[in-house]
Structure formats: structure tokens, C-alpha cells
Structure 1
């Protein structure tokens, strides 16, 4: 056991570094997200086996048990849907991705072996936002394209950027003493993260980012209510962010294109970016109505869409949208019915519920911990309205990562488990 402790201490800096780079680098570099997620799994599994007795109190903790049961319920419903309703190749690929959520408990053991401080975790969020922003600058200046995508779809890159950007100011809330260097670090994450979000040209992410920035300003104002200079700095920084970023030509062009899409739709042309989403949502809803309790399987939406195309109700160009309806909630309903949607909502709400009381305690550290759960809930809840999240491995990895972080932070206030 002593040898294990010495080994952990020796490689702890590397282990902490992997935690810091995982959220951003997984969307910037190919294979990084999957590779690190499996590394977390193997190390966490080894930690559980080698230090089983030491881990028993953690397993017995009621919030940890509840969180794991919620996670398991979502995966089991996906597995039952595959075995009993739809065992197509497409359904199999979706089940494989949902099974990745089962690595979350092992990553939690990984965290408890390394015991990173909440201060380190909060500062690493700003590092992630800065990384996303710097990558976006390189992407645009290098002529890679107008819309920043990373190694995934631009919408998923944008949603990950929103999450890290919203979390980047948390050190200013959590830490008792704030230095000018810490303010510079956090505001850099805020500014560069916003740059990544806007250059991704994702309209849904813009809405989520606006809501999160307003919430961030209120949070910092509450934390530094007696420091007028700090409040003035936050308000000025946010005003500067909006003023500078809104003048970016690509953002202006995207807004103009959205207005044109709405005008075309009003004139009866549904084959626009927005109009196609409405048709996909309608198709998913009809699929749900045909099998409301247990759903029509993961390929149910696509099969119904193909039938509409073959019958001439939709254009052949709609074939490229047969995998998902650009809405996580409707996809859950179409694939797994009301039980599937219920399990997804429970999974989404648990990170918020477990730390919700922290938001009202009045303690600045509890406020910061509670804000993590609230931020994850808002970002995934809003993003799920315009894209299917859990058909993309990186978004599943990121959710599992944040899920474990939230459970870890929940217990970090307990003297028995505090780092």
C-alpha cells in the first residue's frame, strides 16, 4: 500500500495535467478525448482494485450511489431498447457511445486517488477556455476556414467552449484572496472563450453564452459586492467582450443569413437551415406518437424520414439528416419514448440537484461549487434543444468528466474526503 502511495505521489503532476487538458484538447486534437477517457478508466479501475477497502466509504456515500444509479438507468434503458426494439447497426453504434458513460465512476476513483484541490480544478477551466480561444485564432489566421470546428462539428465545439468559458471565472468566486494575476487569468479565459464561441457560428451556443455571461456577471457581483473596483472591472470586461466580438464580420454575416432564412420560411420555403430543423422535429414527434411509451428505436426517426422521402413528401436532400433530428429531447422521445426522455432529464438534472443547496448557503466556496452543477445543466439543457448531444463521443466524454467532477466537488467540503 505504501508503494502505491509513493507511485501516486511520483506521477501526480502528470495525472493532474491530464485532468487540466482533457476538456479542451479533446475537441482540438484527434483521438485525445477517447484516449484520455480510456486512460482514466484503466487507472481508476486499478485504484479501485488495489485500494478496495479504502474506497468502500466512497462507494457507501448516498449521493455517490444515487449519481451512479441515475447514470446506470440511462445506459440500461439504451441497452434494453437495442436488445428488445431496434438492433440495427445504427442502434448498436448509439449504444456503444452511451456505454462510455459507465467510465464515469472509474474517473471518480481516479480523482480520489490524485485528490486535486478545488482551486486547481477551477483554474483548469480557465485554461481550457484559453486553449479553445487560442486554437480558434490559429484556425482563422491559418486559413482553415470561416467556421471554427476543431476535430468535431462546429456546434459541439461551440457548446464545449460555452461550458469552459462560463466556468473560467470561478476561481474569482472560490478563492478568498484574488490577485491581479488571477483576474487576468480568468478574464483571459472569458474573452478568448467567447471568441471561440462566436467564431464557431453556432446560434444555439450564442444564446447559451449570452445567458451564461449575464449569470457570470451577477455571480461575480455577489461575490465581490464590497469591492466596487472589482464590480466595475467585471462590467467593463463584459461590455468590451460584447462590443469587440459583435463587430466580427463572420458573426454579422451569420445573423444576416438567419434573418434571410426566416424570411424564406415565411414565404413557404422550408429548405433552409431553420426550416429543415422544424421538419426534422416534426418527423421525430410523429415517430414518438407511433410508439410513445418505449419509442421506435434509435433508427426509428431515420426510417420514418426515409419513408417520407420515398413517398415524395420530402426532397432527396433530406437523406443526410436520417441519423438524428437536431434535438436531444425529441431524439430521446422518438428512440426510447417517455421512459427514455425521463431518464435523460434525470441524468441532466442530477448535477444541478446534488449541489443546488450550495447556491443558497451564502458561502463563496459553496457558491462556486454550486455554480459548476448549474452551468453544466444550463449548457447541456440549452444545447440539447438544437442538436443531438449524446450521439457524439466527445460530448459524452465531457458530460461524464463534468459529472464526476461535480460529485467530487460535492464531497470536497466533507472533512473526511477533503483534499
Structure 2
């Protein structure tokens, strides 16, 4: 009976995981339950010392555990108010990536299903995004925050372009997935992530130049034609919206550097950054906690603008956020975690994985420089899933090559 159950799970775990990733990208709903089940299975297997525990990507697990220990120690030093618990719990979500590969023990190639889930999510994002954009006439966010939706879409585009060993008719291998993500990004109106498209274009141009002798002329022409159609389609369908956001950006910058009392998005960031730096100067080592530091930042903002800024739980910069909450000690631990994983992926990854790593970290840095990247549950979960499975896939490939 148990054997039959595992046989059935072997068939459905991969598709279920891909479905969960697709839902995560478009904020559909059931993904949290599904991903929690996979993580729960991983925790149970690790607790039981099952041999599948060897699937834990150590290059991810070790720096994450160090970061969590530092966060826990700082929380004990601060002895936070119960109101702080939600914000203080965000780092725990990075542990999701430790147990996910173990929870997917019955899936032959988890990275394949991650990529397919990202492609499915982008296809859904395109359809839902076009419908939402033309029905509301405003920035799309799939019912939530537009900037958060943009981060998930951008990461989905980065992973969807990873080439798989097997091609799929309806979700094919193609570098163009990330440019499709760019089309949806335009509808979110999140300007910070648009340079990712340029980075991807430069990487693809370099790859084409290196391997141009191996590429068929018709294939190159077809890819180039599709890129032109995407660019042209973006201009035709979203031309007014893009022009409006461009004009808004120019006006926003001009307002920020003028004597005007009008509050722009750039002014909001400048005010928050100045206030956050003052909090950091007063509490540099261990920070002041998430809620208390934001209260002091809000009090430092001019009273006439306080009502607009009080709703934010971040200061639109992930480095300042980490430092105000956990001080330079917490910031050092976070950077150690991110840097260690990046270096390891660049060491052991294939060309595809290295390209995805560069684009993923560029996405985190660009988005995090102007938004709260690691103070949102879905952002952390998707980052943890992507990084841990990239590491797992790379180390598995190396292990097979050594035993070949």
C-alpha cells in the first residue's frame, strides 16, 4: 500500500511543484500550502535521519544557518516586543531552501520542474496581466502590490530561460522567456527591474557571438524576429503607459531635486534613507528591531508627510533595512550568506546556471536598492527555492561526473 502511494507521488510531485511555482509567480493562492507540504516532508525526513538528507545543499544550508543564528542572537539581545515577531521571523523563511530538495526526494530532476513552473507562471502572468491592465487601466499587481509582483515575474523570467535537456512543445527552451517577462514588467510599472532586460540582452549577444558558428542561420533569424515583435508589440500595446511612466520618472526626479514641497517617490526614499541612517548611527552594532526602528523613522519625517510614509514596513533599500533592524552584525551575516551562495554557484554551475545566477543576483540588487526585497514572504520563498535547487542540480551533476 505504501509502495503504491510513493509510486503515485513519484508521478505527481514534480507537476505539483511546478504548479506551485507558477502560482507563486502570479500570487494565485494554493502555492503556500503546496510548498509548505514539500518543506514539511523535507523536515520530517531530515529529523528521521533518512538518507535523502544528503540532498541538502550544504553550500546553501551552512551560510543560512549562520545567518539565522546571528538573527536569533540579536533578537535575544534586543528582546523584541511581540509586535516585532512577524518582522523578526522573515529570516526563518530562508530555511525553506534547506529542506526543499529533501522534500522533493521523489522528483527525478527538481530543477526541470522549477523551470517548467516558471515558464507556466510567466504564460499565466501574460494572460492575467493583459486582462488586468486593460480592465483597470492601472499598474498590474495580480491583486497585490505591483512592485512585489514585478520581482516575482523577473525572477521567473531568469529561471524560465534556463535550457533543459528535453524540449517541451508548449513550454519550450528559449532565451526569449525573460523578454516575455519584460513585457509583463512594463505593465507593473516597476522601473527598477527594467535594466535586467538589458543585462540579459548583453549575455545573449555574447553567447551568440561565442557560438555563432554552431547556430543555424534560420534559428538566429527566428529568435531575432521574435525579439523585434516583442519590442514592437510592447510599444504598440503599452506605448501610452510607458510614455506616461517615463514622463512621471522625469517629473519625479525634477521634484526631488527642486525646492518644491510636493512629495514624490524619490523624495519618499530620500526621507526614509536619511532617517534610517540616523537610526543606524544611534544603534550601529545590533540595530533597533523592525517595528521600533520604523517608528523612529516615521517620527523623523516631517509631520505633513508622515501619514503617507507610516504604512511602509521598509525603507526601500534592503541594506539599510537589514542594518536598521539588526545592525552591522546582521548586515555582515546577510551579505556573507548571499555572497557565499553566489560564489559557490559560479564555481560549480554550468554555463546556464552561471548566467541565471548573475541575472538573479542582479535582480535582487536592482530591486533591493529601491524596494524591500527580503521583507516579503513570497520574495524570500522564491529566492530560496531557486538558489537551493540551482545548487542541488549543480552539485548532483558534479557528483555524477566524479563517479562516471
TM-score, with structure 1 as normaliser: 0.84
- Provide Cα deviations, 1:122-179, integer angstroms capped at 9, x if missing partner: 34432232222222122224x14521102431111111111111332322xx54x879
Instruction: Say if 1:224 and 1:230, in contact at 8 Å, map to a contact too.
Output: no
Q: Which residue of 2 aligns with 1:363?
A: none
Return the match for 2:193 from 183, 205, 212.
Answer: 205
Mapping of residues 28-39 of structure 1, within 5 Å: 28-39=26-37
When residues 203 and 346 of structure 1 are mapped into structure 2, their CA distance, relative to the original with a 3 A threshold, is same
Give the Cα separation in 1 of the matches to 2:266 and 2:321. 17
Matched, 1:195 2:183: yes
Mapping of residues 128-147 of structure 1, within 5 Å: 128-141=121-134, 143-147=135-139
Return the match for 2:392 from 405, 408, 418.
Answer: 408
Q: How far did 1:120 drift?
A: 4.5
Q: Which residue of 2 aligns with 1:299?
A: 291
SS, match of residue 344 in structure 1: helix
Instruction: Say if 1:166 and 1:213, in contact at 8 Å, map to a contact too.
Output: no
Give the Cα separation in 1 of the matches to 2:246 and 2:319. 26
SS, match of residue 275 in structure 1: helix
Mapping of residues 152-167 of structure 1, within 5 Å: 152-167=144-159
- Number of matched pairs: 398
Matched, 1:214 2:202: yes
TM-score, with structure 2 as normaliser: 0.87
Q: Which residue of 1 aligns with 2:13?
A: 15
Return the match for 2:381 from 388, 397, 407.
Answer: 397
Mapping of residues 97-246 of structure 1, within 5 Å: 97-116=90-109, 118-141=111-134, 143-171=135-163, 174-175=164-165, 181=169, 186=174, 189-219=177-207, 222=210, 225-227=213-215, 228-246=217-235
When residues 108 and 127 of structure 1 are mapped into structure 2, their CA distance, relative to the original with a 3 A threshold, is same
When residues 397 and 53 of structure 1 are mapped into structure 2, their CA distance, relative to the original with a 3 A threshold, is closer
SS, match of residue 8 in structure 1: helix
Q: How far did 1:399 drift?
A: 1.4
Instruction: Say if 2:158 and 2:360, in contact at 8 Å, map to a contact too.
Output: no
Q: How far did 1:243 drift?
A: 3.2
Structure 1: 5+ residue stretches without partners: 360-365
Structure 2: 5+ residue stretches without partners: none
Q: How far did 1:374 drift?
A: 2.5
Mapping of residues 340-419 of structure 1, within 5 Å: 340-358=330-348, 366-413=350-397, 414-415=399-400
Please give the root-mean-square deviation of Cα atoms over the aligned residues, in Å: 2.9
- Provide Cα deviations, 1:34-93, integer angstroms capped at 9, x if missing partner: 22231112222344356x34235446xxxx334212112222333333322251344211
Give the Cα separation in 2 of the matches to 1:246 and 1:55. 50
